[in-house]
Amino acid sequence: MINTIIQIQATGKYLRVSPHKTRRILDQIRGKSYQEAALILEFMPYKPCKIIKKILESAGNNASNLKYEKQDLIVQQAFTNEGPKLKRFQPRAQGRAFKIQKPTCHITIKLALK
């Protein structure tokens, strides 16, 4: 008999936050229980926390739809990948233009049973 591990996931795509800054936050919640991760995200003062919290809640709701209790879940995987960069130009002196690249990212959170 094959031992299967139940994984519930939620993904946010094309989010206007830096993948580098998002990884710092995801490192803090990886391996924590669902409630502990939600509490950590609630009180961290960074912009991506609000977005990550929404994705975590979405994964929790996906688990609820499959009849799993949220207190029985842990954050098994949490990672971010780079999305496409928005290209913009900043006008500079003497008719020059500097390129500005605004990063986007894709965030995936996978929950598993304890």
The tens place of each residue's pLDDT in the chain, 114 residues long, gives 555 678 899 999 999 999 999 999 999 999 999 999 999 999 999 999 999 999 999 999 999 999 899 898 999 999 999 999 999 999 999 999 999 999 999 999 999 988
| Domains of the chain and any CATH numbers | 7-113 (3.90.470.10)
List pLDDT tens digits, range 20-29.
999 999 999 9
Backbone angles phi, psi at 46, to 5 degrees: -100, 155
Q: What is residue 4's predicted lDDT score, i.e. its pLDDT?
A: 66
What does the radius of gyration of the chain's CA atoms come to, in whole angstroms? 18
Q: What is residue 1's predicted lDDT score, i.e. its pLDDT?
A: 53
C-alpha–C-alpha distance, residues 9 and 108, integer Å:
7
Q: What is residue 79's predicted lDDT score, i.e. its pLDDT?
A: 95
Residue 4: exposure state from Cβ atoms within 10 A (0-12, 13-18, ≥19): exposed
Q: What is residue 6's predicted lDDT score, i.e. its pLDDT?
A: 80
Residue 56: exposure state from Cβ atoms within 10 A (0-12, 13-18, ≥19): buried
Q: What is residue 2's predicted lDDT score, i.e. its pLDDT?
A: 58
**In 1-114, beta strands by DSSP E:** 7-15, 73-82, 86-91, 97-102, 105-113
Q: What is residue 3's predicted lDDT score, i.e. its pLDDT?
A: 57
What is the H or E stretch that residue 49 is in? helix 47-65
C-alpha–C-alpha distance, residues 7 and 27, integer Å:
19
